[in-house]
Structure 1
């Protein structure tokens, strides 16, 4: 299930989904900053496939998403792809 993959990949998603799972509301709306919206599909792809193509245009927005959702392995990849982002 999608919920299991997201919860396993991110403590933030785990908390969000476990709180919603216990309640009546089954849908979750995620609102992202305009600077990261277009990169959210690549972020999700990493959660599902553990693969992302990083380049100068997407490394910072994907790092922001990885930090927001506490995806440590992706944060490490972003830092190694762009060592100037400390």
Structure 2
């Protein structure tokens, strides 16, 4: 059964297992349940870009420099990844 997964991303997360099994992955930054359901059922269009990269593993996080943004090796989703906006 196709699964849509919504992840609250108040901070970056390590999601490779979830992303590979989900039919769709939605990043939520505080949207209401009604807004998320509107997107899920096609009543509204999803759009947005990641304000940070999502690392592929905790090892990549540990190997990155903490004072440099978007510094993980081979991120799962890069800074700016998303849909609907130029």
Higher strand share: 2
Higher helix share: 1
